[in-house]
Structure 1
């Protein structure tokens, strides 16, 4: 359907070609990729909204059961990211974006069927939540696609724009859920899913009509070799603390709010409505902050912005620990502590979004700097840098999403063992401290320079071990 155009010898670093028309091609593909990513994120986080339509009296599920649905969706989304990154490299951005949009029609229809039949056991909901997790795989594929289209000088802003607008899908589906919940109540949750049946069809058709195919340079061998790189593990941890926090809080924030509203004495119906009225704010501001974080990193450097963000997240997590400890001492939630908890969460959303945007600048910068020491032509250096950074984006986005799993499981276990969120908040705080220390040691202070490999393009794993870590 539509045109089938595979671009050969794409060189975004050619300024003359970029200004004469390549920028328009890249922008068109970026917009289509962002649209697909946006809707996919909405489907990925669909159950964080649907649980607000599932009162325990009707469906029989506890807060822990609902957090389990979010954890399963997040886990599958993380695991799907490496195959999706390889899929877009194998089939091209146009074909893969089209197929991945149409595949998500299956769990969307399944969600309608499950909500229309309360009283079923938990496992069908878990299976459906797992299928919605495929929407999380689109994220890594879209990042690899945008990374290949844009020049180094614009990667931070382009990748952050893709991630920021794409991640807005979480806030938008929560807003749609709020609209349905405030008008039709618990009686018509299927309207949320029906809207996304239309949107998935539209973005799939748009991808088929307007996108192009491009050699992304991402191969399985490259991903295997980079898995042993020291930077891979450090960046993955940073991604867990930034994007993992963002997506984990996006899934859990509404449920935590609902529990706290009920603890303050509100009825289940009013607690659900008030939680929905607030829950979308965090993902919305975090998504917008991601765009700003990427642009700020283009000016100041990805490492400096990331370190500053992690310092702020330490303070935000410390605020949550203090407030939750006060609630534990009083055996209940007051209006003042509830407001403070919302402020702490929103601050973490914004900072996590900014940190995720700055990492999009940090990752390509690491390999662009390394490529300068390679004994190769400019074209070979560009291909190597694109392949390595695209592979790392796929790996760290997969591992980083597991941070969202950890957040949901930590909160679930915290509720089961103590009845409060305090132990989980302590875990979050410790993780941010470790990530800040590693950022300072690896990327902010000036490290020593190592000798380059004699033939790095023939053995990317050897080069990854021997090349220097530069300040980025």
Structure 2
């Protein structure tokens, strides 16, 4: 009896870049570093995936920030929660979103970028629909409301998986720009939701708070359909969990994560709390202005990377902490004089500084690890830096929980926001000193390398 013949599929060097190789839109051949492959169609496929990824991540940030603009409207809808409870509703989505970031990152190579985008976008229907249900019932207990608010954390996890997925599509020379667009598109979702929700829920008579959740349902469905129809899975997308293990052992991972709490954590925390702060301190002012804080924080993020490339990320980061101290001190002064103009301007300074700082701290990571890993295996150094990016992103997001809770504790214990702002001033001063001492001090290898 003849032995069975084994059929081997030949390599396809002439295959069209981005051609679908298997059902489920799986692409087996993906070579973005090959100039001919990239110019012959690879760039087009990558950009198509990027556009849909930005849209899905934008919705993720919208849902993540949804409670930030809904909470100040709860009293008008008949809810009687305390100030502390309202800040809990703002803070818990950030806590859940930060916790989900690392597992969401690892989900992309397991399920495929297209497949996970469909799943992660579809999961946004849960927080939006449950919110629409509970905000119509003023007798809903605080525990139930807190659980529903926690579901918005699904949107925070989307950022990590979206960034991981897009990083596999682009060559190294274009990866920074692609990830920058992806991040900026997501961050703007925070501003968009704070602009759109007040307009939608007050259209017509009364306050129809359920519209805040329902308005996103068709967009979420559209994102799932677009991902199913136009995105791709890459067989070459492989994640190595060992990168996190390597990064955990590196002290710079934890130093940079600490610094990122001050920048990205402050951006998320202030974005979440700002509408409630305005409503509590200046009830005569329209909440429609609240979106400007998140907007300027989002659009200035690329500026941080640009400045860091020119003068060094550590120098820019120290300057950002100085600006944040000035902004917090301005807000303290404004509360003393009840000056809305000064309060609003001071928070815009805070938002600009956090946005620029987000870009500069992320720029510091590869540079710091190159210096720290001098004389060691380049591949191991690159793995550690990659793991640090994931860990810092997750740890930094916990600031979105700490800042609203800081305001809540300050209000409960002192009846004012001032104590929390002084704590933030102290924290930013410590972070500035740490940044200078470790990365920007003259005569050190880090300073010489313009980390």
Cα separation, partners in 2 of 1:427 and 1:203, compared to 1, 3 Å = same
Match of 2:308 in 1: 297
For the pair 1:359 / 2:361, whether they are aligned, the reply is yes
- Which region of structure 1 is more displaced relative to structure 2, 214-223 or 240-249? 214-223
Match of 2:4 in 1: none
More helix by share: 1
The partner residue of 2:104 within 84, 90, 99 is: 84
Match of 2:393 in 1: 397
Match of 1:416 in 2: 412
Is the contact between residue 247 and residue 383 of structure 2 (CA under 8 Å) also seen in structure 1? no
Match of 1:255 in 2: 276
Cα separation, partners in 2 of 1:449 and 1:252, compared to 1, 3 Å = closer
Deviation (angstroms), 1:50:
1.4
Is the contact between residue 367 and residue 449 of structure 2 (CA under 8 Å) also seen in structure 1? no
Distance in structure 2 (CA, Å) of the matches to 1:442 and 1:7: 43
- Which region of structure 1 is more displaced relative to structure 2, 85-94 or 230-239? 85-94
Deviation (angstroms), 1:370:
6.4
Cα separation, partners in 2 of 1:145 and 1:235, compared to 1, 3 Å = farther
Is the contact between residue 95 and residue 397 of structure 2 (CA under 8 Å) also seen in structure 1? yes
Is the contact between residue 2 and residue 210 of structure 1 (CA under 8 Å) also seen in structure 2? no
Distance in structure 2 (CA, Å) of the matches to 1:402 and 1:347: 22
Distance in structure 1 (CA, Å) of the matches to 2:392 and 2:29: 28
Match of 1:460 in 2: none
Residues 381-418 of structure 1 show CA distances to partners (whole Å, capped at 9, x for unaligned) of 3xx56643332222111111111111010000011011
Match of 1:426 in 2: 422
Match of 1:229 in 2: 250
Residues 101-160 of structure 1 show CA distances to partners (whole Å, capped at 9, x for unaligned) of 001101111001001111111011100111111110111222223334344444443333
Match of 1:317 in 2: 328
> Gaps spanning 5+ residues in structure 1: where?
328-332, 451-467
Matches within 5 A, 1:12-91: 12=33, 14=34, 17-55=37-75, 58-91=78-111
TM-score of the aligned structures, taking structure 1 as reference length? 0.83
Distance in structure 2 (CA, Å) of the matches to 1:308 and 1:239: 14
Match of 2:145 in 1: 125
Cα separation, partners in 2 of 1:44 and 1:231, compared to 1, 3 Å = same
Distance in structure 1 (CA, Å) of the matches to 2:29 and 2:229: 19
Deviation (angstroms), 1:194:
1.8
Measured on the aligned residues, the alpha-carbon RMSD in Å equals: 2.7
Distance in structure 1 (CA, Å) of the matches to 2:312 and 2:44: 26
Distance in structure 2 (CA, Å) of the matches to 1:115 and 1:251: 18
Cα separation, partners in 2 of 1:167 and 1:427, compared to 1, 3 Å = same
The partner residue of 1:340 within 339, 342, 359 is: 342
Distance in structure 2 (CA, Å) of the matches to 1:448 and 1:437: 15
The partner residue of 1:146 within 163, 166, 173 is: 166
Distance in structure 1 (CA, Å) of the matches to 2:444 and 2:303: 31
Deviation (angstroms), 1:68:
0.6
Cα separation, partners in 2 of 1:17 and 1:286, compared to 1, 3 Å = same
Cα separation, partners in 2 of 1:8 and 1:314, compared to 1, 3 Å = farther
SS in 1 for 2:96: helix
Cα separation, partners in 2 of 1:370 and 1:113, compared to 1, 3 Å = same
Deviation (angstroms), 1:9:
5.8
Matches within 5 A, 1:416-455: 416-445=412-441
> Gaps spanning 5+ residues in structure 2: where?
1-21
Match of 1:465 in 2: none
Match of 1:287 in 2: 298
